[in-house]
Structure formats: structure tokens, C-alpha cells
A and B are shown apart, each in its own frame.
Chain A
Amino acid sequence: MVEPLLRAEGITKRFSGINALSDIDLRVFPGELVALIGPNGAGKTTFFNCLSGLLRPDAGEVWFDGHDLDGMATHHRARLGLARTFQRIELFGGMTVRQHLLVAERARTKRGGLWRDLLHLSAPTVDERTRCDDVLELLGLTDVAEAAAESLSLGRGRIVELGRALMCQPKLLFLDEPSSGLDVSETSEMGDVLLTVQREQHVAILLVEHDVPMVERLAGRTYVLDCGVKIADGPTREVLARADVRAAYLGQGV
């Protein structure tokens, strides 16, 4: 049997008396695309934040690729191969798209350091440029490579975030509502890009998403959260067909 890439067990998080998450288990296997859905306030982003180290769960443990992540800082998790994007877009002000990717590449290779800076040796190498161009090409960002990332539309901005995460050569990618704020065609483009990434780069993806058609199209398995409790998991089609899921999430009567 294949070892799961990410194994979260019994994740519990309370905010001053409110149970944001109670006893959530979740597994993601290498190269798999898994969705996490649920109504607003179900605790999806809180769960993400627990996984990526922005919050520390009150109970439960997270294992990633054979490492216990308890108490590990976000940037250490990122170096293990855990990258993410954000629900509220988080770009670096004043940087171009290319610079976004190059800085992520530098962070991965750790080819930095004060001495290199002082000796003027920190210009991007041919290797770094090639990798950066590849990702730009893959995501269709080549034409805006030199534009300030903040000046792009929200949809393009989300793709830049994705590109920045991909430069870290992640094993697992957390995507927090990649389609929110996008129009129909942008959403479908985003879906295409995610499938390409998953297939060509063999990256496992854990996706928080509200767009049900997108989830149906992309995800092999789906977890459903409601009020901090896991109410269903399994193959996407089966899960979405379940009556309790439809009642809790899709708002359709049984």
C-alpha cells in the first residue's frame, strides 16, 4: 500500500470556546487531487492554516512525507515541499511577475547569502531563468512577465500565486479557493492549468473550493466539512450525490 503524502489526524482547533475544527482526519496521496468543500465558516481555511503552520492545532497531528510537522514554522514546511496559495490574494508589492517567481526559486535553492550580495554575485543564473521561463510558459504568463504583479487582474494574480508556489517544486500544493473572484472563462482556464500541473509535474493538490462543477471536474476524492466537523469523504461523485452533503452544502432539500 502507498504511504500517504499528507496525514492529518484528529485536528482540533478552538477559538475562545467555539469549536472551529473538531477531530478532522485527512489524507492526501502522492500526485492526487483532493478537494475540501463546505459552506462558509465550515473551518476550511482554519484547517489549511493548521496544515501550513500559521495556526497551531489544539490537538491532533500532521505528518508530511515522513516528517512530524508539530510546531514547525511555515517556512520550514515550505522547504519540505508544502506550498500554498491564499484565499485573499497575497502578492509582493512592487515586484514584477518574473521577480515573484525568481524570489521563490532563490528561497528554494537557498543560493543567497550576504557575501554573494556584497560581491555582486546574486544575479539570476541561466538555470534559474530557464526554470522561471518554463513556469511562465506553463501558466501562460509570459506576456505579463515584466508587469508589476499587483497591476494584474485578480484572476491573473491568482495564477501568479500559483506560479510562485510551483517554483518551490512542491510535493503538495494547498490551493485556497483558486476560483473565487474569477469569471466563468477564467475559472475554466484555472481548472485546465491545475490539471496540467498535476499531470505534468506530478504534484499532489489539496483544493478548497466553492465551485462545485470545478470540483467535480478536477478532484478524485472530496472531503466535506460543516461547522468544523467532517461529514463526508470519498470519491467525488459519490460524496456530491449524498443527501446530507447536498443538504448541508448545496442547500437542496432531501
Chain B
Amino acid sequence: MGDFLEYAVRGLPVGCVFALLALGLVLNYKTSGVFNLAFGAQAYTSAAVFYVLRKEHEWPLLPAAFVAVVVVGALLGFILERGLYRHLRTAPALAKLVTSLGLLIAIPEITKLVFGFGDKPQYNPPPLWPTKRTDDFLWPEGSRIVLDAGQITTILCTVLVCIGLWLLFNRSSLGLQMRAVVESPRLVELQGIDADRVSLASWILSSMLAGLSGVLIAPLFAALVDQDFVTLLVAALACTVFGNLTNLPKTVLGGLLLGILQQELTGFLPPNSDLTTAVRPSLPFVVLIGLVVGRLIVAKIRKRPASFDKDISDPMAGVDPPPPVPVAMMRPPWMTGATRVFGIVVVLAGLYLCWNVLDPSWLGLVVAGLCVGVIMLSMVMVTGIGGTVSLCQATFAAIGAFTTAQLVQRYEVSVLVAMGIGALVAALVGAVVALPVIRLPTVYAALTTLAFALFFEKTVRPLRDISGGPNPLPVPRPLVGSIDFADNKSFLLLVMAVLGFLGTAAILVRGGTTGRFLDALRGSETAAASIGISPGRSRLVAFTLAAGIAGFGGGLLASYNGQANYEASYVYLYGLIWLVLVVTAGSRSVQAAIVSGITFFIFPKLLELLFSFPGNWLVSHPETKGFVRTLAEFPDPSWAQGVAFILFGIGSLTYAKHPEGIIEFQTTASVNKMVKTLARFRQPLATEGAQHG
């Protein structure tokens, strides 16, 4: 019992940090309807600013803390609200989610670039308390339950924040207005209160909370790594799920419980056992998934709809203009034919280019891009066509890759057959994951799949029997009869054939009964159910199919690389970037998957070229001095990828304006222009085109 209490007290501080970030998330979600996943990145940024000020500029504690938490937090909140989310208030939930994902990717990259962190790690993040030694302020002395200065600071901060929030909501007019905005922003505006101002205040406040939690938790890590803050984010997400995304006190309680649970597990599980090393790091993910699944099961037993807080719907959403008509519906039939011919010409030209013009390294990028294109196709399938947000497609790709590698290694199965089996295994796992996920509202589906991806990364990936441990398992190129795909050119043909086959399948599903049912479900789930469409079945099919496609893509990518290398190809972060890319280009389009796949590899390379020409030229000139010279010499291999990720993230912001995707938007614009131009020459054709609209 004594041990139990001891561990509980030790768990409190970490629980407090979880609670702080979770409070920010809930506060923001309640007042602005945005579930801002970028808070994880904002926490990182504040921690990084604090690190730089304290360690590199040796500022005193309080000013550094003030700048890192209050100034940076407020500034980020201000920029995000004014620059972005104010304009997204009526946007669909997916738009808000994708933009926040884009920011989750972009903000840490920008931070690293600004501070020139590059690839060198930032060791020993400074604590938010004055002493260097953390054990000289213990409480209570002589007892077995000890807290060091850092832990006490953390608890104090949290208590202060809680009291502050309580006062804000119960004693101040701003707090009252915030509560009112949650209920109905429209009514609040009718009362003459500026809902924008209230929303801005909540963005600033919650961003400061995120910053505070980042600064508080940083000293617990050996070095400042942005990925660790995503783990913190997921822990906070678990707390928000505990509090139903809206209940502040329950959210805090969730944070404390999670912190305590983590310590108890550390204390009571046998140290150094496989179970402990496997379970401990993924506890927040397991808890999140457990909470969601548990709630679904309870609802099932009670035969009631699960009590998930529905995505906050804006009462003004009804006055939005209807979505644009798909370009395929509005262009005249002859133009559809022409588009197809044009497409074939483009593919052939691309093939010619790859065959005869491109040098091998670029050809390699194209082939890798097409492999990733297959994984992105799975995102088109599940998100664009299926209407379910999945943040774990990269994980399904990893499952496919590992299965392929293991089958080839252990049972000497032919590579292509192994890829097929890998796809089946991924589909099977996908079906299991889908069972809860397809029943969830957008935000919950995103959180649960993200938790699954992280769970896989922390717990399954290290298992030697599955992934081969630290050394990636080799996967050879396929050999079919006398055709050897070892050469990149022949492998390119194979990947193109696979893409052609799977892409056609996706188009058929999209246009077929399954696609129609899914469209209906996306339009209105209640209405779809009222005509007898099972909400679960079609989505399950789409999700499972998508997982299978991702699995096959993962196998292909592994075969191209010659190994199933998790860190190089399948980390959850890539999954997020791929999703952001494909959704930006066009979440329902096969074309978009292919284009985004290639873009993912080619774009950083192009950036590098673009900057290295003037850079090299400047460096070669002796007159280049000072700052310009530093700038010209700056590029190291990793920066181009960082900049590319930032641009991808920022690109996703167009999604809010063009949910149909950039490709569809551009095509529509050019088709419109062509129809108009032709109308001058051929009146009858134009009227035909107009009728199709």
C-alpha cells in the first residue's frame, strides 16, 4: 500500500503536464470547434525557445519563461486564429483536422530551421525552476514519498492554472462569454458580443497552456526531440477523450490518473521484462484506444447510440453554398474522351522520359514515389471514398512490408506472392482496427488511428520476431519466371501495372454501389440509415480494402528499397505527411495519389537544386562575406526535406478553400475555360456542356 501511494505521488507531476495540454485542447475545441493537434508542435516550440534562451543566451529564468510560454504561446495562438482558423469556422471537420495536421508537421520544422537545430540533438533541456540540482528541495523530508523541485513546480503551475481557469469561467465576463460561445456562437453575436474576440482569447490562452506544458515536460527527456511531444500530445488526447472532449474537470482528472497509472505500471511490473519495455511507452495509446472501444462496447450492451460528442456543427453551416459539382459531371462527353487520350499521352511521355532522359537517381525517386503512390491510393480509398479519417495507413504499409520480408526470409516465398499475403494480413489487421473506428465521429477516428499508429511504432516495431529488430530485414526484388525486376526500369513497369490495376479498382468502387452508399453516408448518416443502408458495412469494406492496398504498397516500397526499413519508410509522421499531401491534391482522386507520391520525393530534391545553384555560385566567389556567405553555405542535406515538409503543411491550408483538391480545382477551372472558349465557335456544344452541369 505504501508503495502504491509512493508511485501515485510520483506520477502526479507528469499527470499534471498531460492535464495542462489537455486543458488547452478542450478549451480550444469548446470555443472554436477546432481540435488543434498542432498544440503538440506548439509545446515543442515553446520548449525550444526556452532551451535557446536559457542554454545559448543564458537568460535568467523568469524572463526566459515569460518569453517562451507567454509571448511565444500568445503569438502562435494569435497567428493561428487570425491567419487561419477564423476563416475555417464553418469548414468541415476534416478541413480543420487536416490543417492542424499540416501545422503539426510544419511548426517543428520551422522551429528547427529558425534556431538552426539541424540534426544535432539538444541535450538536457533546462528545467523551469532555478536550481541546477533537482534533488535539493525535497518534500516532505525523511519520508519515502519525495518530490523534487521540478515536480513541485509542475504541480504548483497546474494548481495555479486550474484556479485561474475556475476564476475565469465563474467570475469573469470573458469566461462567461466563452461559455456562451460554446453553446451558440450565433446567439452570442446576436447579443452584441464579438465572438471573434472571444475565440481569439481562447486561442491565445490555450496556446499558452500548450507552451507551458512543453516547457514543463522538456526536462524529463534526455534531449529535445519534436517526436516526443507528439507522444505528449497523444497522452493529452487520451485525457480529453476521458473528459468527452468537453468536460474540463474530468479532463484534469484524466491527466492525473494517466500520470499515476504510468508510475504504478513502472513500479509494479517487473523491471526490464519484455512486457514492461513494451507496455510502458505505449500506455497513453493503449489507454486512448481502450477508452474509445470501451465506450462503444458499453453503448452496444445498453443498446444505445454511443455517447460521443458529435463534431460541433455550426448552425450557420446551412447557409454555405453547396459543394462544387465534380468536373467529371460537368464536362461534355467528348471532353472526357479527350482527357483520357491526354492521360495516356502523359503516361507514355513520362515513361519515355524515365526510360531515356532521366538519370538513374531521379528515376529511383520516381519509382519510390510511385510505390508511395500506392500507399496514398489507400488514403484515397479510406478517406476520400470511404469518408473515414485514418492516420495509420503508413502502419498498414509497414505491416505489409514486415510480412513480405518475413515470408521471403523464413519460408522463401516468392516476393510477389509474399506481397499479396502481406496485403491480406494488413487488410485483416485493418478490419480489426476498422471495427471501432468506422463508428466514430471524425475527430475520434483520427485520434484512435493515430494512437494505433504510435502503439505499433512503440510496441510492435521493436519486436524482433516481427520487424527483425534494429537491423532491417532484406526484401529482394521480384523474379517472375525469366523476368527480373532488379533493374529500376523494369521495376517501374511493375509498379505502374500495380497502380493501374489498384487505381482502376478504386475508381470502380467509387462509382459503384459501395461508393454510392458511402457518398450517402457522408451526406447524412441518419438519412442513409433511414433508407436501410448499414452505416458500418460499406465503411468496413472501404477501410479493409484500403488497409490491403496500403499493405501491398508497403511491400512494394520495401522491395524497391531492398529492405523493410521502418524508420526510413513507414514512421507515423510520414503517414501524416502523405495524408496531408494527398488530401491537398484531391482526396477522391487516383491521379492525386500518384502525383502526390512522386511529389513527396521529387519536391525536396528540386528545392535542393533550386537553392544550391545560387548558393554554390556565391560560395565560389571570394567577395561573398558575412551573413550572405553563412546563408550560402547553410544548406545541409536535411534542410531541403524540412522545408518541403513545411511547404506541404502550408499547402494543406488550401484544403479549407478547395476541399475537392487542387487537381480537381485546376481541372474544373481549365475545363470551364475551354467550354467557354469553344462556346464562341460552337454554340450547340456549349449548351450540351451546361446541361451536364
Contact = CB atoms under 8 A, between A and B. Distances in A.
Contact of A78 (B322, B509, B529): B529
Interface in A71-117: 71, 73-76, 78-79, 83-84, 86, 90-95, 99, 102-104, 106-108, 111-114, 116-117
A52 B527 CA distance: 11
Contacts of B516: 99, 102-103, 106
B519 A84 contact: no
Given A54-B305, A75-B532, A84-B530, A118 B523 contact: no
B508 A104 contact: no
A107 B322 contact: no
Interface stretch (A36-44, A162-170, A184-192): A162-170
Size range of the chain A interface in the assembly: 35 or more
A150 B545 CA distance: 31
Given A91-B523, A92-B523, A122 B531 contact: no
Given A71-B303, A117-B515, A148-B322, A167 B526 contact: no
B513 A90 contact: no
A137 interface: no
Nearest to B691: A146
A70 interface: yes
Contacts of B541: 114
Contacts of A107: 517, 528, 531-533
A93 B528 CA distance: 12
A78 B532 contact: yes
Interface in B289-328: 302-305, 322-323, 325-326
Contacts of B305: 54-56
Nearest to A105: B531
A81 to B, nearest CB: 10
A165 to B, nearest CB: 7
B531 A93 contact: no
A19 interface: no
Nearest to B325: A148
Contact of B514 (A73, A91, A114): A114
A117 B523 contact: no
A151 interface: yes
Contact of A112 (B505, B517, B529): B517
Contacts of A92: 519-520, 522-524, 527-528
Contacts of B520: 92, 95, 103
A148 B545 CA distance: 29
Interface in B523-580: 523-524, 526-535, 541, 545
- Most chain A C-beta atoms within 10 Å of own C-beta, residue among B323, B508, B511, B529: B529
B360 interface: no
Contacts of B322: 93-94, 148, 150-151
B512 interface: yes
Contacts of A151: 322
Contacts of A91: 523-524, 527
A56 B523 contact: no
A73 B536 CA distance: 11
Contact of B524 (A90, A111, A118, A120): A90
Contact of B523 (A55, A70, A95, A168): A95
A175 B535 CA distance: 22
Contacts of A150: 322
B51 to A, nearest CB: 47
A164 to B, nearest CB: 6
A52 B303 contact: no
A122 B513 contact: yes
A118 B508 contact: yes
Interface in B346-400: none
B36 to A, nearest CB: 26
Contacts of A95: 519-520, 523
Contacts of B527: 86, 90-92, 161, 164
A79 B531 CA distance: 7
B513 A106 contact: yes
A131 B202 CA distance: 54
Interface string A107-143: 1100111101110101000000000000000000000
A107 B534 CA distance: 9
B301 to A, nearest CB: 10
A86 to B, nearest CB: 7
B509 A167 contact: no
A93 B533 CA distance: 16
A104 B530 CA distance: 9
B524 to A, nearest CB: 4
B522 A83 contact: no
Contacts of A111: 513
Contacts of A117: 508-509, 511-515
B688 to A, nearest CB: 13
A151 B527 CA distance: 18
Nearest to B531: A104
A106 B280 CA distance: 49
Nearest to B544: A114
Given A113-B513, A116-B512, A165 B531 contact: yes
Interface in A168-216: 168
Nearest to A80: B532
B555 to A, nearest CB: 21
A181 B69 CA distance: 52
A146 B541 CA distance: 29
Contacts of A53: 529
Given A92-B524, A114-B509, A167 B531 contact: yes
Contacts of A84: 530
Given A114-B514, A120-B508, A83 B530 contact: yes
Contact of A70 (B303, B513, B531, B691): B303
A164 B46 CA distance: 54
Contacts of A167: 531
A107 to B, nearest CB: 4
Contacts of B512: 112, 116-118, 120, 122
A120 B526 CA distance: 28
A164 B513 CA distance: 16
B320 to A, nearest CB: 10
- Most chain B C-beta atoms within 10 Å of own C-beta, residue among A83, A103, A150: A103
Given A70-B303, A106-B513, A94 B530 contact: no
Contacts of B526: 54, 74, 86, 90
A112 B513 contact: yes
Contacts of B529: 53, 73-75, 78
B244 to A, nearest CB: 14
Given A70-B303, A86-B527, A111-B513, A94 B533 contact: no
- Most chain B C-beta atoms within 10 Å of own C-beta, residue among A71, A122, A148: A122
A16 B535 CA distance: 28
A106 B531 CA distance: 10
18 contacts: A54-B526, A56-B302, A56-B303, A75-B533, A93-B522, A94-B325, A94-B523, A95-B523, A99-B516, A103-B519, A104-B531, A106-B513, A112-B513, A117-B509, A117-B512, A118-B512, A164-B527, A168-B532
Given A75-B534, A118-B505, A148-B322, 10 more contacts: A78-B529, A78-B530, A78-B531, A78-B532, A95-B520, A108-B531, A108-B532, A112-B514, A116-B513, A117-B515
